[in-house]
Structure 1
Amino acid sequence: MEFQQPAGTPGIPPGCPMHGQDFAADPHGAYDTMRVAGPAAPVELAPGVDATLVVGYQAARSVLQNTTDFSRDPRRWKALNEGRIALDSPVLPMMAYRPNCLFTDGAVHLRLRKAVTDSLDRLDIGRIRRDVEPIAAFLIDRFSERGRADLLNDYAKLLPLLLFNRLFGCPAGIGDRLTSSMSAIFDGRDALKANEELTACLMELIALKRREPGDDVTSWLIRHPVGLTDEELKDQLVMLMGAGVEPERNLIGNALLLLLSHGSSDRGAGMLIEEALDHVLWNNPPIANYATHYPLHDVDLGGVYVEAGTPLMISFGGANNDPSLRTARQSLSKGAHLAWGAGPHACPAKSPATVIALTAVEAILNALPDLALDCPQEELQWRPGPFHRALAALPVRFTPTPGTRVAALHTAAPAVPAAGAAAPPRVPVTPVASPQEDRSRKKGFWSTFLDIFRV
């Protein structure tokens, strides 16, 4: 993302970079520069892709809640319709139209969103915790004997992928391919091929769940009274998985960084995990810039002219840190930040996402109590990109411990059954396979996890 200096605007240094490592390292400096022009500023998201980024809190909230003057439908994107956006642009997969509740308005949006929200509302918070805990134990066991790990790539990245396989009812074969293709899309590795594989996996999953429904989000969506078609189901699943995996990884990673940064001025003594998550959502939200809107007519946004049919993107990171909020933030509620969005398109998975991150952070800190950063904080690298606020890696060190957490979960005393009820059968414990054994058996993370837990 690159800031475009308005002609004749004083105080804005020319060529302020908004893409690459400079922006990744200090996005708030870029947002401060933009505010000289007003609550929004013109930017270049990628070569040839112009947009207006809203960095003012009140302006951002106003746009998010205004369905009269703004649309979420990218089919209104004038430059794309006129062929001025390269079809291989790296930002197009995140911005192009899909028939899901993220990119639709009005009655279509309400129909699709009802299916999604009703299905997510069936998730039990206690079940989510019970699903996260064995996945966390499984991942920790894979590196606990080494005494060193990259908590981004060894833990925070993989945990949401495995959890979503669980919540969406993926069998081993589909789950391995789904995990691999989703990782490739977020990592930018052969995204076109990965997207094709992701689509194929989801269509297979939908066909399977139509034949054999289960107690999972995919089956609930299929059985929802609005009657989603297979194509609609596929696009809601893409949205749910895409909107869940990357933000969840970054929320877990950014919270762990805060809690491990003993010398950071941002860190309060004895900060609770809940406080760390809230701090991240205010100051370094995992998705920093997104929620693209398209003005239905030319608009004046606090003195900034925005042409109809041009992308107007919300900077959650910039708006949350608007200097005008510095005194007001003391009186605002914790949830007043915009990290979850606002208005009719606000994130419907706020509660599950929070519980997943809380449980994941709690699990790793309890398992490895002497966890510490393995490099100076200032040497950590942030992944470049216009949308996310994401670490590239989070190297840590700790006292090596035997990988016994998975077995402990199986051998823990079971809950006392109700009177007259039969005791639940014991689940056989399979030893955790080493990475070398996994490669030789050609099994992915999800297959290995299922081998252990027989779920």
Structure 2
Amino acid sequence: MGLYESLRAKHGPVAPVLLDGGLPAWIVLGYREILEVAGTPSRFSRDSRTWRWFKEGRVPPDFPLLPMIAWQPVCLFLDGAERDRLRLAVTDSLERFNRRGIRRQITRSAHQLIDSFADRGEADLVGEFSEQLPMLVLTQLLGMPDEYGPRLVEASRDMVAGTDTSVASNEFIVETLQQLVRRKRGNPGHDITSWLIEHSSQLTDEEVWNHLRVILIAANETTVNLLKSTLRMVLTDPRCHASLAGGQMTLPDVVEQVLWSEPPLMTIPGRWAAVDTEVGGQKVEAGDMLLLGLAAGNHDPAVRPDPTVPLHGNRSHLAFSSGPQECPGQNIGRAITDTAIDTLLARLPDVGLSIPEEELRWKSGWMTRHLISLPVTFTRPRSSGTDGGSGPAAGLPVPSALPSAPAPALVPLPAQAPAPVPVPAQAPRRRVRRWDSLKAWLRIR
């Protein structure tokens, strides 16, 4: 945020920046300017093929940001009627899931992860929980075996970070999803992949796996960061703790506050100028690239003069972008976050940070800011069961693994397919009493 504010102070709401390799671009820092750029596709296109440095051949094939900005046949890189056709297939497929069913699946996956460290009395809620759970859920929603999750977590994180191996990571994800689409063409199931294939928009195989890639990468990256940041706030912010305990806030309120203060994606590769134009006092030429500074926009003093004032119930933040390309799967990320934390606190009600808050460390990239670890301690529970109200299915036994998907397993990738992740055995179930402090306020109804 210090960098964004120094750019704002020097250049105003739109500032010039350099990408890897010294390629010039603009970063949009102002709240209103982001809405302007995101909401006027006639001036600011999503078609990255119009980028002048692509046209002039100045972007090398190993450019580390290429997996995130190279044009693909997906709604994210299109405008107009073609974007509408493809986006309809995505939104329709995402909306076919039953919300109660998704939350039940999230709860079961959360219990599975908690079982792996509950008996130790300590854990790292980044590496052992937050970075694993979203992909566990997403692989199920896409109709993939959940043992592919760990490898996909590593590949997606590497790709978004724009490292030297990001291109290879992207190739692994693409090959995995291409195999999935071939399988589902012959044997569809109750999953997003099958619904995209069957949709009336008649997507090609290339369009299907490209959209699956977008869903997988965007949903995992944003949800992992949102889950980590919300957990940190619940565990470290005394105002948040007091508001939850006193009923002034609910857990979904905390999630929205985090989306304002620390959006999962700080900056996104946003638009390419379709014409010579002006925005935020800067003259932008046709073919220029503009990054959307979502975190900077959320902290724009022109619309939020006091960032310490809570914004309960206010969803006008920019965490999921805005305009025709606003994230269609944002509610899945919200559901994973608040359901996962509710489950964690139900199992480990006295969980607390094991180091001083000031010792927490982050790693920053061009799009994201990652909390590296969140070490906690807690009283080892005598039972891994539920309290009868917030467990996987209102008191049903907690399974030791996710329910097997009806779809067949993927063909293992040569020398790359991950080995199945062993699931530790659970302790015998015993009915436990309700915890009557935070639980009453955090239960998801």
Using the size of structure 1 for normalisation, the TM-score is: 0.80
Change (3 A) 1:428 1:359: closer
Residue of structure 2 aligned with 1:281, choices 238, 256, 259 = 259
- 2:335 aligned partner: 355
Matched residue, 1:214: 189
Q: Percent identity?
A: 36
Aligned length: 400
Residues 141-152 of structure 1: pairs in structure 2 closer than 5 A: 141-152=115-126
Q: How has the CA–CA distance of structure 1 residues 430 and 214 changed in structure 2, closer, same or farther, with 3 Å as cutoff?
A: closer
Aligned to 2:3: 30
2:292 maps to what in 1?
A: 314
SS in 2 for 1:197: helix
Q: Which one-letter code corresponds to 1:192 in the other structure?
A: V
For 1:280-429, list aligned pairs within 5 A.
280-326=258-304, 334-401=314-381, 404-405=384-385, 413-414=395-396
Structure 2 Cα separation of the partners of residues 210 and 236 of structure 1: 15
**Alignment partners' CA distance in 2, 1:42 and 1:194:** 30
1:158: which partner in 2?
132
Report the Cα offset of residue 162 of structure 1: 0.7
Following TM superposition, by how much is the alpha carbon of 1:378 offset from its aligned partner in structure 2, in angstroms?
Answer: 1.9
Residue type of the partner of 1:133? T
For residue 19 of structure 1, what is the aligned residue in structure 2?
Answer: none
Counterpart Cα distance in 2 of 1:195 and 1:326: 38
Alpha-carbon displacement from aligned partner over 1:20-56 (angstroms, at most 9, x marks no partner):
xxxxxxx2x2222111211110112334232211111
Cα deviation, residue 177, structure 1: 5.5
Which amino acid is 2:378 matched to?
Answer: F
Which residue of 93, 105, 109 maps to 1:135? 109
Q: Which amino acid in 2 is paired with 1:444?
A: P
Shift of 1:412: 7.2
Q: State the distance in 2 between where 1:392 and 1:307 align.
A: 39
Match of 2:236 in 1: 261
| Aligned partner of 2:23 among 39, 49, 52 | 49
Contact 1:340–1:346 (CA<8 Å) still a contact in 2? yes
Instruction: Say whether 1:104 aligns with 2:82.
Output: no
Question: 1:72·1:293 contact (CA, 8 Å) conserved in 2?
Answer: yes
Residues 1:73 and 2:47 aligned together: yes
AA matched with 1:258: M
Change (3 A) 1:356 1:173: closer
Change (3 A) 1:58 1:148: same
The separation in 2 between residues aligned to 1:292 and 1:252, in whole angstroms, is 24
CA contact (8 A) 1:178 1:201 kept: no
- How far apart, CA to CA, are the structure 1 residues paired with 2:400 and 2:126? 28
Name the SS for the 1:369 alignment partner.
coil
Whole-Å separation in 2 of the counterparts to 1:77 and 1:241: 25
> Separation in 1 of the partners of 2:65 and 2:94?
28
Aligned to 2:179: 204
The answer to whether residue 205 in structure 2 is matched with residue 230 in structure 1 is: yes
2:353 and 2:172 map into 1 onto residues whose CA distance is 36
Question: Tell me, which stretches of 5 or more residues in structure 1 are unaligned?
Answer: 1-26, 415-425, 432-441, 450-455
**Which range moves more in the overlay, 161-170 or 43-52?**
43-52
CA distance in 1, matches of 2:31, 2:152: 37
Q: Distance in 2 between matches of 1:321 and 1:286?
A: 14
User: Cα offset for 1:163?
Assistant: 0.4
Q: Distance in 2 between matches of 1:203 and 1:309?
A: 32
Structure 1 pair 172–375 and aligned structure 2 pair: CA distance change class (3 A): closer
- Relative to structure 1, the CA distance from residue 259 to residue 430 in structure 2 (aligned partners, 3 Å threshold; closer, same or farther) is closer
CA distance in 1, matches of 2:339, 2:291: 31
What is the one-letter code of the residue matched to 1:361? I
Tell me by how many angstroms 1:178 deviates: 4.4
SS in 2 for 1:149: strand
Q: Which residue of 1 aligns with 2:427?
A: none
What is the TM-score of this pair, normalised by structure 2?
Answer: 0.82
In structure 1, the residue matched to 2:14 is 40
1:148 and 1:198 map into 2 onto residues whose CA distance is 33
Q: 1:332 to 1:295 in 2, by over 3 A?
A: farther
2:411 matched residue in structure 1 = none
Task: Decide whether aligned partners of structure 1 residues 319 and 217 sit closer, same or farther in structure 2, where only a CA change above 3 A counts.
Answer: same
Q: Is the 8 A contact 2:257 2:312 kept in 1?
A: no
1:86 to 52, 60, 78: 60
Identify the residue that residue 144 of structure 2 maps to in structure 1.
170
In the alignment, residue 110 of structure 1 is paired with which amino acid? Answer: D
Q: CA deviation at 1:262?
A: 3.8
- Check the 8 A contact 1:178/1:198 in 2, yes or no: yes
Q: Distance in 1 between matches of 2:61 and 2:349?
A: 48
**Residue number in structure 2 paired with 1:443:** 419
The alpha-carbon distance between structure 1 residues 348 and 444, as it changes in their structure 2 partners (threshold 3 A), is: same
| 1:132–1:332 CA distance, 2 compared to 1 (3 A) | closer
Residues 370, 95 of structure 1: alpha-carbon distance in 2 compared, 3 angstrom cutoff: same
- Runs of 5+ unmatched residues, structure 2: 403-417, 425-445
Could you tell me how far apart the structure 1 residues matched to 2:400 and 2:375 are? Answer: 31
